Amino acid sequence: MHIPAHAKLELLSDIQLGRALVHHQYMLELPAGYFQHPDTADASQAVTVVAKATLKIKGLVYLLADIIRPATLLQDNLAELHVPIRSSNTPRTKHPHTICIHLNAVFAHPQTLADIGISKQAHLTHLAALHTAWQNTRTATIEHRVQLAVTQQTINRIEQQAQTPSAFFRQVLPVHPPMPHTLPFQDAARNKVWRAIVSDSKVDANLLASIDLLQPDPAHRGAAMASHFRPFWLTAQQEEWDGMWKRNCFKVWKQSDLAADDRVFTSRYVYKLKRDAISGKVSRFKARLMVQGFKMQQDVEYNNTFSPTLGSTANRTIISIATAEDLELHSVDFTQAFIQADHLPEGVNG
């Protein structure tokens, strides 16, 4: 339904005003505050929009407009804006950034559609300006996207050339990946295995080595198996498993041998990286099989807990006495020492 230019704005409903703006493809230059960037939440940028449609949501009417300036928003695929026609008592529309408030501010309280520039001649002028704006914006956007496409093609071509050397070089001189000057291990054999693992990676080996030098202890088996240290963790797990069987830590039970009230507790591996104190390079992989004791009940499955580990105070005391008396200190590292504590002869140092 066509609404005449002399129609009173105060008599038009929100949906009628919105349809009139859409019919004439009305262009609005909205100041700062109307548009908020979804990524940066910046609302200080003014935008030029063209009315495209009206939306009615929960009884409230919104003007759906296309953003035509600045061109940078179109390049970022930000091309639409929803603006309420009038303010109301809802949190979303109870603010000064509405279509009616903007028109009152720009045209000093207009009375009719003609007062805001809606007429046949103004409509033709708007169409011409809109055509020019669209052409300029479209040209800038196309140029920007062409530049991005050309840049991406150049990057792909360079990467493809780096991955597939020419036939001449493949025949005359075998191509080997550069030897990284940073390696994560002190042991040469482990470094050789690590280089074989990362040889297929597109990431620079020195960067991977630096990352592995800073890698924390895996929190669980999934993290251990997902790292470049996977074969070393598997070896550590196997050593722990074989050692516990060798030292009679396990006994095979049949499910039929268990009583009805017997509880079976699960276990998991705990992983620890031992590093050199100076270089930070990995010197040892430790994987310990632990019963998940947090599921046990005190005085039911266990009575006391005890860890036969030397405290820092006692350790410093021994070092101080040895230094004062000019004595020699010897340290011994036992594999799986906790499960062998009962087998050490009385008086053995360690």
| Higher pLDDT pick, 324 / 140 | 324
12-17-19-20 Cα dihedral, nearest 10 degrees: 100
The whole-number pLDDT of residue 350 equals 46
Residue pair 50/58 in contact by the 8 Å Cβ criterion: no
Domain boundary, last residue among 104, 139, 174: 139
Say if residue 24 is in the same domain as residue 106: yes
Say if residue 256 is in the same domain as residue 321: yes
Is position 166 within any domain? no
Say if residue 250 is in the same domain as residue 308: yes
Q: What is the pLDDT of residues 76-99, one digit of tens each?
A: 556 778 888 887 776 665 667 788
Is position 176 within any domain? no
The whole-number pLDDT of residue 325 equals 92
Is position 156 within any domain? no
Say if residue 122 is in the same domain as residue 223: no
- The stretch 133-161 carries a mean pLDDT of 63
What span, in angstroms and rounded, lies between the C-alpha atoms of 3 and 132?
27
334-337-341-347 Cα dihedral, nearest 10 degrees: 20
Q: What is the pLDDT of residues 164-222, one digit of tens each?
A: 555 544 444 444 444 555 666 667 777 777 667 666 555 555 555 555 566 788 888 88
Residue 137 has pLDDT above 70, yes or no: no
Work out the pLDDT band at 317, boundaries 50, 70, 90: very high
Residue pair 139/54 in contact by the 8 Å Cβ criterion: no
Q: What is the pLDDT of residues 7-33, one digit of tens each?
A: 888 888 888 888 888 887 888 888 888
Say if residue 192 is in the same domain as residue 335: yes
Q: What percent of the chain has pLDDT over 70?
A: 67
Rounded to 5 degrees, what angle do the CA atoms 291, 293, 297 make? 140
- The count of domains in the chain is 2
Is position 48 within any domain? yes
| Higher pLDDT pick, 172 / 331 | 331
- The residue ranges of DSSP E strands in the chain, in sequence order, are 27-30, 47-57, 60-69, 80-84, 267-275, 282-291
Is position 287 within any domain? yes
Structural domain boundaries, residue 114: 9-139
Handedness of CA 273, 278, 280, 282 (dihedral sign): negative
The whole-number pLDDT of residue 270 equals 92
Look up tokens 């100076």; give the residue: 278
Is position 234 within any domain? yes
Is position 22 within any domain? yes
Residue 335 has pLDDT above 50, yes or no: yes
Say if residue 121 is in the same domain as residue 217: no
With 0-12 / 13-18 / 19 or more C-beta atoms within 10 angstroms meaning exposed / middle / buried, residue 106 is: middle
Is position 158 within any domain? no
